[in-house]
A and B are shown apart, each in its own frame.
Chain A
Amino acid sequence: MSVVARRPWRLVEPSALPGFGPALGFTLAYLSFFVLLPLTALVLRPWEAGFDHFWRVMTDDRTVDALRLSFGASFVAACINLVFGTIVAWVLVRYEFPGRRLLDAFVDLPFALPTAVAGISLAAIYAPNGVIGALFDPHGIQIAYTPLGVMIALVFVGFPFIVRSIQPVLEDLDVEAEEAAATLGAGRFKTIVQVVAPAILPAMLAGFSLSFARAVGEYGSVIFIAGNIPNVSEIAPLLIVIRLEEFDYAGAAGVGLVMLAISFVLLLFLNALQGVVGRRGKA
């Protein structure tokens, strides 16, 4: 039983430090101008041409196909990165080999390299006459200008999230648990599957969510390699740009709003899943 007196509820706790008013005032004004007001427009404008117009835009084949491609390709790309990102994180944390530090630094390349630069480079590599495209072209497999190309660009942008989510957890993992498992006679693989994997699973899911969310909104690295064929390789962010160019503001805002809404629901689900897995890992 604690006997600490409950502090009275206050809007602001008293402090000896100066500057709270101006700092918070500026922060709120800045956020209102750059975030709140713009997002209010995004939420309200899809409806101004009437609900029917909104519904027509959303159920249009082209919109549905673009959304399906954006979310589908992002999901597949995040899955690929989940597998290889986990391996990379494991290798970077657990093994000592020449060039390890260089690889570690390069994990963040997709954060640092402008998306348009990555975009034209990937298009050159995977085009039918590109370094890798030429390997597949004779077999009738086209990568650039197909949904496969979209997915490859999304693998590139999503890569760092998984590695950087798992790395710190793997580094902080107690060596005792693994030693105990080994002492008790568990083989190395059994230890990895039953001791290490449950411990890093929440971090894997967190990285998956970040990687997925980033991929859904990605534009610059995708449009060059995608070919942008309506209903086939046209992503949702590009459809927003196209609707804007047609001066269909309500339609553009509608696609944007639906994209945000679907992402939000999926991320809520992934967060909840992370919570469940996290609790089970500790039990």
Chain B
Amino acid sequence: MSGRSSVARRDPPWFAGALIVLAVFYFVLVLFLPLVTVFLEALRKGFTEYRVSFDDPDAIAAIQLTLLVAVIAVPLNTVFGLAAAWAVAKFEFWGKSALVTLIDLPFSISPVISGLVFVLLYGANGWFGPFLDEHNIQVIFTVTGLVLATTLVTLPFVARELIPLMQAQGTDEEAAAATLGAGPWRTFFLVTLPNIRWALMYGVLLCTARAMGEFGAVAVVSGLIRGETATMPLYIEILYNEYNSVAAFAMASLLALFALITLAVKTALEAQFADELAAQRIR
């Protein structure tokens, strides 16, 4: 940061000014305008109309469903992230880099494909479709399908945040605890967990944000049944396609608000605990 003020780095004022103006313009056009539009469109017909759109029982059901899916998928991926990071960061074994690549893989496939693969397995024409049918179990077009797709899409978030950090921290503290006679769980909860808590929180935060906002993957497995398998983003699509713009943007404004809170908490965590968070920020 000190390099910011080096004389050799001083650009001509007109040049610096022009670039700043250009950057701000790009921010306003590409980022701020879409964000502000969400709230403006939601309130276009006044606050009463905005508020009334939440009296819709299907809207309430969509909010509850979104929370339900997140409440299942996020803990699953948190436990997975902890287990994967423990194995990858604290031990040396053959095939480790292949394992890490596999953990990262869900980030590089299209959300639509993340939904599609579960239809290929558990749909009516899926590999396990006939078997599930015989036992009267339905996966696709139910909450189970939504959870599967959401879990796949958000799978890497916690693991990816923890692995680099736990690798950097090494094994000395845990080894000391084990030598002093602490059991595995005691070591984990009293030594490891305090060391990684902020990174864990960071990963869980990003995982939750994505789980609640996921659209493509759940669109494929949902079947869009109002009040039953329509999460908030899917219900936005339903309302939008019915030309119910105010209600669609009202629902969108809730998610946008949540996104702003996520950004604020994320920025605060980064500012406070920069050293305790992994350097890798790119998703």
Contact = CB atoms under 8 A, between A and B. Distances in A.
Contact of A110 (B31, B188, B233, B248): B31
Interface in A25-67: 26-28, 30-31, 34-39, 41-42, 45
Given A103-B23, A114-B213, A252 B116 contact: yes
Interface string A101-116: 0010111111111111
B59 interface: no
Contact of B113 (A34, A107, A260): A260
A178 interface: yes
Contacts, number: 305
Most chain A beta carbons < 10 A, residue from B26, B174, B220, B281: B26
Given A42-B117, A108-B266, A165 B282 contact: yes
Interface stretch (B48-56, B104-112, B131-139, B194-202): B104-112
Interface stretch (A141-149, A212-220, A270-278): A212-220
A272 B57 CA distance: 53
A241 B116 CA distance: 8
Interface in B83-111: 83-84, 86-88, 90-94, 99, 102-103, 105-106, 108-111
B259 A114 contact: yes
Contacts of A41: 117, 120-121, 126-127
B71 interface: no
Most chain A beta carbons < 10 A, residue from B124, B155, B215, B279: B215
Interface magnitude class on chain B: 35 or more
Interface in A111-158: 111-122, 124-125, 131-132, 155-156
Interface of B is mostly: helix
B78 to A, nearest CB: 12
Given A173-B3, A216-B110, A90 B215 contact: no
Given A109-B31, A241-B112, A256-B116, A23 B8 contact: no
A165 B279 CA distance: 11
Contacts of A13: 91-93
Given A12-B91, A165-B282, A115 B34 contact: no
Interface of A is mostly: helix
Most chain B beta carbons < 10 A, residue from A22, A131, A237: A237
Contact of B263 (A24, A31, A108): A108
Contacts of B83: 22-23, 26-27, 30
Contacts of A92: 23
A168 B1 CA distance: 11
Interface of A: 10-13, 15-20, 22-24, 26-28, 30-31, 34-39, 41-42, 45, 84, 87-88, 90-97, 99, 103, 105-122, 124-125, 131-132, 155-156, 159, 161, 164-165, 168, 171, 173, 175, 178-179, 181-183, 188, 191, 210, 213, 216-220, 224, 237-238, 240-241, 244, 247, 249, 252-253, 256, 259-260, 263, 267
Given A175-B6, A175-B9, 19 more contacts: A11-B93, A13-B93, A15-B92, A17-B178, A19-B86, A24-B91, A26-B80, A30-B84, A84-B23, A112-B266, A116-B236, A116-B252, A117-B233, A118-B34, A120-B38, A120-B249, A125-B33, A175-B8, A253-B116
10 contacts: A12-B93, A26-B80, A27-B88, A28-B99, A105-B263, A116-B236, A121-B34, A122-B34, A124-B41, A155-B30
In the complex, the 9 A-B pairs of residues with the closest C-beta atoms, listed nearest first: A217-B110, A114-B213, A38-B117, A220-B215, A219-B216, A13-B92, A18-B184, A179-B8, A237-B112
